[in-house]
């Protein structure tokens, strides 16, 4: 598999290292707005102009740079490659999400939703038609949310509402919430809760799902913080990249 990477921060650089060490796939380009981060890479791998991505003939493009990449280039990418946007808050825009799925359907490619920090995505997606109520909550230290002032020194409920609303308000912090909503009851019905807690130095995620037949599923995860993400994110993304081979359909969960 030939892979293009967009973004070279904590997740992007670690994903590059893992793919390069594995040897089962080939990295054909790396793009970063902060070009100085790419100084140690072979010059031939660096792609400054994303409109020239087709020239590298990638099978898969992984985005780790922000939702604006999907808005500007997502449909074009899906004309010639599978596309895995980690900035899933972009998909809270129905017009954009529909455009990406349409582009994938026309080309026979796939829009891939990575599980990221959301453990249990397989179980949630497998029962997609059965869930009646789903709620997902994050508890994070204020620094992971870029907060200052009162919210940085005392526990603060920042949001309690739909995933669609929180995705618009915190576009760089709640990608796992969007994955949960897409895999279950949708962006408007899935409830999101976000708490800033200065007493912790880690990230906490809780999912509670209830089925129409009375079944229930509870997911709880705690991990060290690395910026806005958990420490396990690079490994989770690497796992999704490995699972991407052989996927089909306009949207697939990996």
Tens digits of per-residue pLDDT, 148-179?
887 788 999 999 999 999 999 999 999 999 99
Quick one: pLDDT at residue 113? 96
Using pLDDT thresholds of 50, 70 and 90, give the confidence band for residue 230: low
Using pLDDT thresholds of 50, 70 and 90, give the confidence band for residue 77: very high
In this predicted structure, the answer to whether residue 84 has a pLDDT above a threshold of 60 is: yes
In this predicted structure, the answer to whether residue 232 has a pLDDT above a threshold of 90 is: no
Quick one: pLDDT at residue 229? 63
Quick one: pLDDT at residue 245? 79
Quick one: pLDDT at residue 228? 58
Per-residue model confidence as pLDDT tens digits over 129-143: 999 999 999 999 999
User: Mean pLDDT, to the nearest integer, of 49-77?
Assistant: 98
Quick one: pLDDT at residue 119? 84
In this predicted structure, the answer to whether residue 33 has a pLDDT above a threshold of 60 is: yes
Quick one: pLDDT at residue 35? 93
Task: Write the CA distances from 170 to 98, 165, 176, 242, integer angstroms.
Answer: 21, 9, 12, 29
In this predicted structure, the answer to whether residue 95 has a pLDDT above a threshold of 90 is: yes
Rounded to an integer, what distance in angstroms lies between the CA atom of residue 140 and that of residue 97?
Answer: 28
Task: Write the CA distances from 251 to 15, 115, 125, 182, 188, integer angstroms.
Answer: 22, 13, 12, 10, 19
Structural domains present in the chain: 2-117+233-253 (3.40.50.720), 121-229 (3.30.360.10)
In this predicted structure, the answer to whether residue 104 has a pLDDT above a threshold of 60 is: yes
Quick one: pLDDT at residue 225? 77
Strand 2-6: give its sheet, edge to edge. Answer: 26-31, 2-6, 60-63, 82-85, 111-113, 251-253
Rounded to an integer, what distance in angstroms lies between the CA atom of residue 116 and that of residue 126?
Answer: 17
At what angle are helices 94-107 and 68-77 packed, to 10 degrees?
A: 20
Using pLDDT thresholds of 50, 70 and 90, give the confidence band for residue 233: confident
In this predicted structure, the answer to whether residue 90 has a pLDDT above a threshold of 60 is: yes
44 token code pair: 């031939």
3-state percent breakdown (helix, strand, coil) of the chain, nearest 5: 40, 30, 35
pTM of the model: 0.92
Quick one: pLDDT at residue 149? 84
- Give the other-Cβ count within 10 Å of 22's Cβ: 11
């Amino acid at each position: 598999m030939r892979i293009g990477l967009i973004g070279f921060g904590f997740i992007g650089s670690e994903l590059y290292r893992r793919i390069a060490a594995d040897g089962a796939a080939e990295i054909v380009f790396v793009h970063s707005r902060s070009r100085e981060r790419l100084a140690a890479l072979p010059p031939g791998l660096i792609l400054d102009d994303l409109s020239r991505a087709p020239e590298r003939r990638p099978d898969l493009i992984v985005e780790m740079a922000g939702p604006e990449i999907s808005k500007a280039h997502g449909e074009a990418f899906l004309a010639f490659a599978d596309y895995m946007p980690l900035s899933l808050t972009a998909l809270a825009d129905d017009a954009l999400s529909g455009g990406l799925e349409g582009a994938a359907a026309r080309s026979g490619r796939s829009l891939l939703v990575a599980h990221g920090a959301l453990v249990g995505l397989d179980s949630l997606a497998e029962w997609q038609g059965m869930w009646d109520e789903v709620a997902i909550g994050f508890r994070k230290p204020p620094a992971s949310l870029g907060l200052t002032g009162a919210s940085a020194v005392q526990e603060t409920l920042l949001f309690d509402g739909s995933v669609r609303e929180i995705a618009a308000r915190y576009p760089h912090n709640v990608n796992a919430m969007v994955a949960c909503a897409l895999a279950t009851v949708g962006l408007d019905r899935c409830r999101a809760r976000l708490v800033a807690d200065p007493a912790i130095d880690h990230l906490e995620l809780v999912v509670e799902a209830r089925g129409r037949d009375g079944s229930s599923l509870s997911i709880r995860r705690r991990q060290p913080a690395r910026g806005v993400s958990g420490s396990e994110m690079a490994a989770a993304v690497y796992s999704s990249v490995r699972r991407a081979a052989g996927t089909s359909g306009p949207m697939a969960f990996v």
